[in-house]
Amino acid sequence: MKKSLLLISAFSLLISCKSTEQKLYTSTTKNHKHLNKWAVVNGEWTAQDTLLEGTKNQYWAIVNLHKKLPDNYSITFSSQVKDGTYLFEVMLDLKDQAFLGILYNTLDKKIQIEDRKFYSAEEVEKENTYIRTKNHIGQLPKYELKPSTKWVDWKIEKRNNQLYIWINQEEYVHYQNNHNLLQTKGQLGFAINGNAKIKNIVITPLKQADLLSPIEFKEKPKVLPFFLFSE
């Protein structure tokens, strides 16, 4: 009987460990200390239960996760921008001061993919910003957006050189990494030009078996640029 109980306990522990290993990061459990898993770059940031809140000062409010993203991943979270917030940005695969930015642009009413540069603290005074679009101006996809101050649900999947984004369970963005903007072993970050809240962040590595499953995805119509800037 004791042997059976020990086997059951060991099996339960194994299942529990496997379940934990499936997630690279989660903020869905109440944890008042989960801000220590993030590097606060600028702005005012607070953490309460499952929620992060950032408010800009002179520059953007920026926070980066200490852990590096896996090669392929699924990220889910919810965001809420305060009225008057110009941009909420997801920083994907930040590495060597470069990242792919997903901009929730409330002013232009667009979802935008941008090739972004992240300036160091020493460069900020000269550049007068922490973040700026670097290259491929006017060449990356944009989509029409109806901005909302209500909670918005996000799902972002990187599958090799393909990026898929769902917003409020709607298929929205499909980006093929032809410009090599999605790096490997980069970091996740959030940047806010205003005030926003983020909650229920879950990062799940995608295994090879996940990548073999075909994905049916119909993106929103792209907004065509009026003109292209020269490089």
pLDDT for 11: 33
> Given a cut of 60, is residue 156 above it in pLDDT?
yes
> Given a cut of 50, is residue 126 above it in pLDDT?
yes
**Residue 197 belongs to some domain of the structure:** yes
Burial class (CB in 10 A: 0-12, 13-18, 19+), 165: buried
- Domain with residue 96: its CATH number is 2.60.120.560
**Residue 222 belongs to some domain of the structure:** no
Contact 111, 142 (CB under 8 A): yes
**Residue 8 belongs to some domain of the structure:** no
Q: Distance from first CA to last CA of the chain, Å, rounded?
A: 73
| Number of domains, the chain | 1
Q: What tens digit of pLDDT does each residue of 45-62 get? A: 998 888 999 999 999 999
> Given a cut of 90, is residue 9 above it in pLDDT?
no
**Residue 227 belongs to some domain of the structure:** no
Q: How many CA atoms lie within 13 A of 87 on its CB side?
A: 21
Q: Which domain covers residue 202, as residue numbers?
A: 21-212
**Residue 229 belongs to some domain of the structure:** no
E-only strand ranges, the chain: 25-26, 38-42, 44-48, 51-55, 61-68, 73-81, 87-95, 98-105, 110-118, 131-133, 142-144, 152-159, 162-167, 170-176, 187-193, 195-205
User: pTM to 2 decimals?
Assistant: 0.85
